[in-house]
Structure 1
Amino acid sequence: MKSFSEQGGVMLFSRIALAFSWIYQGAVPKLVCRSAGETELLGHVIPVYQWACMAVSWMGAGEIVFGLLLLAVRRIWIFHLNIAALVFLLIFVLLFEPQLFTEPFNPLTLNVALIALSLIAIAELKKMKN
């Protein structure tokens, strides 16, 4: 009998968790209940409020699409792209809103966990190829 890992269960759970995070973060704080914090954070690079609001909506849609890609694509590159995006977002927040790193459920703890899930998915994909 094949183990859970050999059946791709770890990979499936990693992909679902990553996709859920991206889809939720794109939909809820950016599209459904636009967070003032999201607009304020973008305001550091987009000084016109209406444009920042529009950019937040586009980012939300992009995050949803990326979450769906994480469900659809079983290739290592998508997880490397995920890691790169998360590192970029961490640096962006560190530069413009470093006080967020002291809050509960802050960007550091969330992104490190999501990066770890990506590394697990990469390791699982490599095992499945062997």
Structure 2
Amino acid sequence: MNPLQIINRALLSIHITLAVLWIYQGLVPKVIFKGIEEQQFWQFTGIQFLSIPRLIELSGIGEIIFGVLFLIFRQSKILHYLNIVAMLFFIVVVAVVYPHYFVQGFNPFIMNTAMTALSIVALQLLNIPKDL
């Protein structure tokens, strides 16, 4: 296997992982179950132009779409930059809304840091010249 194939396999693994994580986060706690934490978050924001269940569903659909984009646009750097910004933003949001989550195992800090790291590695791989 040549170096470019190795890089592409690593990128594919990263993209599949990020896609699965985003799709799961959008589908299970938001679209399927509309978890209590999701309801509390939208109540905290004070947004009132849509019902809370609708806001939860829309945010879940947005996350699912974002996850699918990782499968479609596998050479996109902008997706990884957006992922990094989103993960850092969500760390801050969760710290403000649910600070008690940060002392539990498998907390949002761990998940978001890992997803950020995957995008950083993907950006490094995408920046390797293709004419190796």
Fold match by TM threshold 0.5: yes
Aligned to 1:39: 39
Distance 1:128 1:41 in 2: 43
Aligned to 1:106: 107
Give every structure 1 segment of 4 or more consecutive aligned residues whose post-TM-superposition deviation is greater than 4 Å. Answer: none
Distance 1:53 1:101 in 2: 26
The alpha carbon displacement at 1:128 in A equals 4.6
* Structure 2: gaps spanning 5 or more residues: none
Identity %: 32
Q: Does the C-alpha gap of structure 1 residues 128 and 70 become closer, same or farther in structure 2, counting only changes over 3 Å?
A: farther
Tell me if 1:84 matches 2:91. no
Q: Does the C-alpha gap of structure 1 residues 52 and 5 become closer, same or farther in structure 2, counting only changes over 3 Å?
A: same
Q: Does the C-alpha gap of structure 1 residues 68 and 97 become closer, same or farther in structure 2, counting only changes over 3 Å?
A: same
TM-score of the aligned structures, taking structure 1 as reference length:
0.90
TM-score of the aligned structures, taking structure 2 as reference length:
0.89
The alpha carbon displacement at 1:51 in A equals 1.9
Aligned to 1:28: 28
Distance 1:52 1:88 in 2: 21
Tell me if 1:127 matches 2:128. yes
* Structure 1: gaps spanning 5 or more residues: none
The alpha carbon displacement at 1:13 in A equals 0.2
Aligned-pair Cα RMSD in Å: 1.6
Aligned to 1:14: 14
- What one-letter code is carried by the residue in structure 2 that aligns with 1:98? P
The alpha carbon displacement at 1:26 in A equals 0.1
Contact preservation (8 Å) 1:46, 1:52: no
- What one-letter code is carried by the residue in structure 2 that aligns with 1:97? Y
Distance 1:125 1:76 in 2: 7
